[in-house]
Chains A and B, each alone.
Chain A
Amino acid sequence: MKIAVCVKEIYNLEQVKIVRETREPILDVPKKLDDLSRNALEEAIKIREKLGGEIVAISAGSPELRKTIKEALAMGADRAAIVTDFTESSPESAALVLSRILEKDSYDLILLGDASSDDYSGQMASRVAETLNLPQITFVSEIREVSDGKITCVRDMDDYIEVVESDLPCVVSVTNEINEPRIPALKDILKASKKPVENFSLQDLGIEISRSYEIVENLAPAVDRKQEVIEGEAAEVAGKIAEIIGREV
């Protein structure tokens, strides 16, 4: 079983601060592997534990990706194939770059997170599947079975669930409910540096990035606080708070 897991580097959102006056984010923070990418990778590792095979982490990003990809290798990917001169962040171009890397090898299964925690566009699985002309199963909360060239998945559609079977190869995107990703131990981290990483440039892949849209603004949402002050005796104030909670929640 040869599994490709498309992973994404994102800014460590917990460390991103917002300039109060302008609402602009300060992005001078380290990057990390996206949480949903880790869910996808965890699922690949579970399949490999059952069926054997190889996991290849695929990613496109900034030069910092050479460092970030080690998280995927430490978690359990056997090797990586990456592009590190990709700074354009549109889903359209990202899907093209990932697909070109994927085309360089053949895979039984391509796993991704359903969306990424930063822009959450949720387009990657469908775009990659369409580019590679493969079947796709999205919103997967459980991979029930992988055998005899087929995969059976449970799709979480909020109000109902679907059980879907597809031939392999197939593109599958997972939700964060599917598992709890493992945390790499020291031994895994030390081994990660010795695993092979194939580094392509956009030129190697024959891709020229063109912008199809422009980001006009990237600001934190403005939240106006009600700043309601409740005054009075404790019992009276408690009653009013209970009333507001009952009304608002």
Chain B
Amino acid sequence: MSVIDFPKNTVLTFSEEEELFRESVREFCQRHIAPNWVEVDKRSEQNPMDIPVDIIKKMADQGLFCIPCSEEYGGQGGSYTMATIAMEEIAYADPSVALAVYALLNTGWPFALELFGTEEACQEIIPEVAAGRAFFGIASTEPQGGSDVAGLKTRAEKKGDVYILNGEKTFISGVGEVQKLEWGGGWFTLARTGGEGHKGLSAFALLARKNGELSDGWDPTIYEDIGRHGLTTGGFRLTDFEVDSKYLIGEENKGFYHVMEGFNLARIVVAAATIGASRWLLEQAVEWFRTRKLFGRNISSFQGVSFKFADMYARWEASRYFVYRASRLADKIYIEKDPSYKPLDLNVPVALAKNYGPETCVDLAEEVMKWYGAYAYTKEAPIFRAWLGPFSYVIGAEGAQNIMRLIIARDIIGRDYLK
């Protein structure tokens, strides 16, 4: 039973199919994810390579990856809003957001591959990702930083039908999964094929492992994260790593534009995951308010508590509007292919969702921990896991918060007035 009676909504509405899909994802998550998420987080904290392959397989069987990808590639043939609904529900069941992030990376980036990649690459990679046998995420960050995408240093030299890549990528999700899953996988990545700046970058589908075979010239490291343990983070060095030209995504030296569209798509579902985790946190708070007494009164009878809750609730509702506004817009552009909408139209709506959703979630988690008091500071209470996991999106995964602010300010005020 839902802890909170959410107010009726005539603005943020969903079709019968979308509601049925939400119910089905929720039921799947209550059966397979909610009872196990804490254990997954604990086990993978002890050993990052203890990857929840069994749950990943079940999620694949339920069709929770590659949601908007075409059925001809083994995708689900759904909309981006359907993907958004799924990520919200998965994160509600696993508020550490690890499994939602696994699902969203393996939805947003295969979809970006389908938009810009070659037929051969799509036929080879997407069906494996959809079936839970391969991971396909994003690898753009390098040791010198993540936000300055245009300044990245990994080079790709074309020799005949292959590109030879040399360089290093850091803070990349899925470095463990590509080694552990049956088929393998890799990333939508960028390397420099031309001169300096963003116009010298090309995008590639980089497969570190395929058909169970590791590729030469790929040297990985696994990091120890502070949260979101059910999904590995790591880095890798590329030494004369060969990429067949069929894995070039889009046109040579246009990779920056393709990856930016991919980021817009991925950021919508990242924000969706954080509103799902926030819903779990709101319910934790309300359950606590209904039982906890202090000075002989309900703790929420103190306005210092209830007013703060009201503020956080308002931020959560606002985040949800931002997220679904962006997903509906993505459907217009990429699913319905309505010519009145262009990819750049997504910039501000996505930046608002990605900026507001994760910050709301992390701030809410901190408040809920304070309302719970000392118990929340013990590992017995799982709330801290819903704080540390989403925190990765405030730090900057899938785009730093100040980059989101920059996008909003740049597009609203005007690029020339920010110089």
Task: Give the number of chain A interface residues (Cβ < 8 Å).
Answer: 17
Query: Among A14, A183, A185, A193, which residue has its beta carbon within 8 angstroms of that of B17?
Result: A193
Q: Could you tell me the distance between the alpha carbons of A193 and B17 in the complex, rounded to whole angstroms?
A: 8
Nearest A-chain residue to B85, judged by Cβ: A186
In B2-52, the 8 Å CB interface with A consists of 2, 5, 16-17, 20-21, 23-24, 27-28, 31
Query: With A70-B16, A183-B27 in contact, do A189 and B21 touch (Cβ < 8 Å)?
Result: yes
Within 8 A of A (CB), among B58-114: 61-63, 67, 71, 76-78, 82, 86
| Residue in contact with A186 in the complex, picked from B1, B16, B21, B27, CB distance below 8 Å | B21
Q: Does A32 count as interface, using CB distance less than 8 angstroms?
A: yes
Q: Is the CB of A186 within 8 A of B82?
A: yes
B2 contacts which chain A residues (CB < 8 A)? 14-15
- Contacting pair A185 B23 (CB below 8 A): no
Further contacts, 14 of them, CB under 8 A, given A17-B5, A189-B21: A14-B2, A15-B1, A32-B23, A71-B20, A74-B20, A184-B20, A185-B62, A186-B67, A186-B77, A186-B82, A186-B86, A187-B77, A192-B17, A193-B16
Chain B residues, Cβ within 8 Å of A70: 16-17, 20
Measured CB to CB, the nearest residue on chain B to A191 is B77
Q: Which of A67, A71, A190, A193 is the one whose CB lies under 8 Å from B78?
A: A190
List residues of chain B with CB within 8 A of the CB of A183: 24, 27-28, 31, 62
**Contacting residues, chain B, for A190 (C-beta < 8 A):** 17, 76-78
What are the residues of chain A within 8 A of B16 when measuring CB–CB? 67, 70, 193
CB pair A186–B78 under 8 Å, yes or no, is yes
Asked whether A185 and B76 contact (CB < 8 A) given A190-B17, A193-B17, the answer is yes
From B30, which residue of chain A is reached at the shortest CB distance?
Answer: A183
A170 to chain B, nearest CB (A): 31
The one of A14, A67, A71, A185 in contact with B1, judged by C-beta atoms closer than 8 angstroms, is: A14
Q: Chain B: interface secondary structure?
A: helix
Query: Which residues of A177-228 are within 8 A (CB) of B?
Result: 183-187, 189-190, 192-193
Closest to A32 in B: B23
- Bound Cα distance from A55 to B61, whole angstroms: 23
The reply to whether A186 and B63 form a contact with Cβ atoms under 8 Å apart is yes
Picked from A15, A32, A67, A187, the residue with its CB within 8 Å of the CB of B71 is A187
Name the interface size band of chain B: 20 to 34
Q: Given A15-B1, A70-B16, does the pair A185, B77 have CB atoms closer than 8 Å?
A: no
Beta-carbon contacts under 8 Å, A56-93 to B: 67, 70-71, 74
**Distance to closest chain A CB from B6 (angstroms):** 11
A184 to B78, CA, bound (A): 14
**Chain B residue contacts of A15, Cβ below 8 A:** 1-2
Q: What are the 5 A-B residue pairs with the smallest beta carbon separation, nearest first?
A: A185-B63, A186-B76, A14-B1, A186-B78, A183-B28
For residue A84, give the distance in angstroms from its CB to the closest CB of chain B.
Answer: 15
Q: How far is the CA of A93 from the CA of B17 in the complex (A)?
A: 31
> What are the residues of chain A within 8 A of B67 when measuring CB–CB?
186
CB distance from B3 to the nearest CB of A (A): 11
B contact residues around A71 at 8 Å (CB): 20
Chain B residue nearest to A74 in the complex (CB): B20
Residues on A with C-beta less than 8 A from B28 are 183
- Residue picked from A14, A190, A193, most chain B C-beta under 10 Å: A190
Q: Using CB atoms, name the residue of chain A closest to B16.
A: A67
* B1 cross-chain contacts in A, Cβ below 8 A: 14-15
Taken together as a complex, chains A and B put the C-alpha atoms of A134 and B53 apart, in Å, by: 48
- Shortest beta-carbon distance from A60 to chain B in Å: 20
A123 to chain B, nearest CB (A): 28
Distance in Å from the Cβ of B178 to the closest Cβ of chain A? 25
| Cβ contacts A to B, 8 pairs, < 8 Å | A17-B5, A70-B17, A184-B24, A185-B63, A187-B63, A189-B21, A190-B77, A192-B17
Residues of A within 8 A of B86 (CB): 186
* Least Cβ–Cβ distance between B279 and chain A, in angstroms: 16
Question: What does the 1/0 interface line of A19-53 toward B look like (CB < 8 Å)?
Answer: 00000000000001000000000000000000000
Q: Shortest Cβ distance from A61 into chain B, in angstroms? A: 16
Complex: how many Å from CA A74 to CA B28? Answer: 15
